[in-house]
Homo-oligomer: A and B are copies of this chain.
Amino acid sequence: MTDQTEIALVSVDLEGVRTAAARLSGLLHLTPVLTSRSVDLRSGRQLFLKCENLQRTGSFKLRGALNAVLNLKPDLADRGVLTASSGNFAQGLAWAARHRCVSAHVVMPTDVPKVKRDAVEALGAIIHTCEPTPMADRDRVCKEVCDETGVTFISPHDHPDVIAGQGTIALELLDQVAALDAIVASVGGGGLVSGIAVAAKALRPAIRVIGAEPDGAADAARSKAEGRLLSEANPRSIAKGLLVGLGESTWCIIRDLVDEVITVDDDATVRAMRLVWERMKIIIEPSAAVAVAAALSPAFRERVELGRVAVVLSGGNVDLDDLPWHALI
């Protein structure tokens, strides 16, 4: 199944993940792994929830952003960094840039919720706005900022240092939980699941790495089924963080190292989100709940060969004044 030349092409391997872990050491939280009898009763197995929602900035995205920013050569770093993101990666990059005392530029669409924009600005980033559609406008603004300032563009997922940074989650998980059979992680651009797959498969080839996607943004599941990278024309889901499509690099890793991708509907996601809030007393966002919903799905319950399963709770950034279950009850 694996084609190591492709992986070499995008330059992410276990060594890169280990280098990232050394680089990030002491700067980030070693996030806890929590368990819940209530959740286990519903999943039919032991679930180990890796709490990246409790990571600094409220999501795993900081790992990749910080690894990428810290790995920039000084002359490049001094000119600043840029990304296009309205969510967690923007916060991660802003935090990382502030840590290295360089400037962060973020391109986000004009219709981004104020709470998200405020969070990025509070970390000192300079915001540039683009039109919500077409995507070409975002690329135009990014190019303008690059041309004017000489900043380095860092993709939220399609960047080897970003993928390697996200992979550090797998190193921690394998250290924190003995005898894991599988890891479930949600898939948007694919940086999280591909980083995890690179590290986990290298250290423990028998482990299964499983992606989780909203059924309204299932480009990874469809691409896996077809064996080629497909884009999503009109993605829709309550999990806004997962609407972005796979990148070239992440697709290659997902194709070769991720065993399967499970899709869930938004109702299941909201139920899973509320279950975790109510029973585990931790705040997860819909994009994280997608992975929980996959682990609770009827089809997954039947996978009796998978006894000990880790689920990555990718983030916890929600607007507390706009909670999704009010529409359901």
A residues touching B (Cβ–Cβ < 8 Å)? 29, 32, 34-35, 37, 53-54, 56, 58, 274, 277-278, 280-284, 316-317, 320-321, 323, 325-326, 329
Copies in the complex: 2
Q: Which residue, A282, A284, A329, has most C-beta atoms of chain B within 10 A?
A: A282
A277 to B54, CA, bound (A): 11
A83 to chain B, nearest CB (A): 22
Please indicate the chain B residues that have their CB under 8 angstroms from the CB of A316 in the complex.
Answer: 281
- Chain B neighbourhood of A274, CB < 8 A: 320
Across-interface contacts of A35 in B (CB, < 8 A) = 29
Which single residue of chain B is at the shortest CB-CB distance from A321? Answer: B329
Instruction: Among B34, B278, B280, B320, point to the contact of A277 (Cβ < 8 A).
Output: B320
Q: Can you list 14 A-B contacts with CB-CB less than 8 angstroms, sorted by A residue number? A: A29-B34, A32-B32, A32-B34, A34-B54, A37-B56, A53-B281, A54-B280, A54-B281, A54-B282, A274-B320, A277-B320, A281-B284, A281-B316, A283-B283
In the assembled complex, the CB of A182 is this many whole angstroms from the nearest CB of chain B, namely 23
When C-beta atoms are compared, the residue in chain B nearest to A319 turns out to be B278
Does B278 lie within 8 Å of A281, measured CB to CB?
no
Inter-subunit contact A281/B58 (CB<8 Å): yes
- Closest chain-B Cβ to A316's Cβ sits at a distance in Å of 3
Distance to closest chain B CB from A110 (angstroms): 24
**What is the CA–CA distance of A281 and B31 in the complex, to the nearest angstrom?**
12
Q: Is the CB of A281 within 8 A of B282?
A: yes
Question: Looking at the complex, which one of B283, B323, B325, B329 makes contact with A281 (CB distance below 8 Å)?
Answer: B283
User: Judging by beta carbons under 8 Å apart, are A320 and B323 in contact?
Assistant: yes
| Least Cβ–Cβ distance between A88 and chain B, in angstroms | 12
CB of A119 to closest CB in B, whole Å: 10
CA–CA, A320 and B281, complex, Å: 11
- Give the residues in chain B near A317, CB-CB below 8 Å: 281
* Closest A-B pairs by Cβ, 4 of them: A281-B316, A281-B283, A32-B32, A53-B281
Bound form: Cα–Cα A116–B58 in Å: 30
How far apart sit A326 and B320, CA to CA, in the bound complex (Å)? 10
* Cα of A321 to Cα of B324 in the assembled complex, Å: 11
Whether B329 contacts A325 by the Cβ 8 Å rule is no
Tell me the minimal C-beta distance from A282 to chain B in angstroms: 5
Given A53-B281, A58-B281, A321-B329, 11 new contacts (CB under 8 A): A29-B34, A32-B34, A37-B56, A54-B282, A278-B320, A281-B284, A281-B316, A281-B317, A282-B282, A320-B323, A320-B325
Of residues A35, A320, A321, which shows the largest number of chain B Cβ atoms within 10 Å of its Cβ? A320
What distance in Å separates the Cβ of A326 from its nearest Cβ neighbour in chain B? 8
Rounded to whole Å, the gap between the CB of A28 and the closest CB of chain B is 11
Q: A244 to nearest B CB, angstroms? A: 22
Query: In the complex the two chains form, what is the Cα distance from A320 to B328 in whole Å?
Result: 13
Q: Which residues of B contact A54 (CB under 8 A)?
A: 34, 280-282
Least CB distance from A286 to B in Å reads 14
Give the distance in Å from the alpha carbon of A323 to the alpha carbon of B323 in the complex. 11
Q: Separation in Å of the A128 CB from the closest CB of chain B?
A: 26
Q: Using CB atoms, name the residue of chain B closest to A34.
A: B54
Name which residue of chain B comes closest to A282, CB basis.
B282
Distance between Cα atoms of A229 and B324 in the complex (Å): 47
